[in-house]
Amino acid sequence: VAGRATVFVFPDLNTGNNTYKAVQRSAGAVAIGPVLQGLRKPINDLSRGATVEDIVNTVAITAIQAALA
């Protein structure tokens, strides 16, 4: 990947989840997602283990999607 990647695509759910959590924890990164695209209305998903910060971030992203729809 040339430059700074902002989107990563993984071959399956396990690989994506493992990489997502590893990067989030090791880099102290703020990870927001999954963010669903291509639907008529904004909708996003939270995992059972979502923290309050995860929920707030997802609500903010969903509100932005709704404002732009």
Q: Which domain holds residue 27?
A: 1-31
> Mean of the pLDDT values across residues 7-14?
89
Query: What total number of domains does the chain contain?
Result: 2
Per-residue pLDDT averaged across 16-20, rounded? 86
Same domain, residue pair 37 and 24: no
Query: Looking at the structure, do residues 69 and 42 belong to the same domain, yes or no?
Result: yes
Higher-confidence position of 30 and 64:
64
Report the percentage of the chain scoring pLDDT > 70: 99
Instruction: Please give the pLDDT value at position 21.
Output: 84
pLDDT at 47 (0 to 100): 84
Q: How far is CA 49 from CA 21, 38, 69, in A?
A: 12, 25, 29
CB 16 within 8 A of CB 23: no
One domain, residues 3 and 13? yes
Same-domain status, 26 and 43: no
pLDDT value for 30: 84
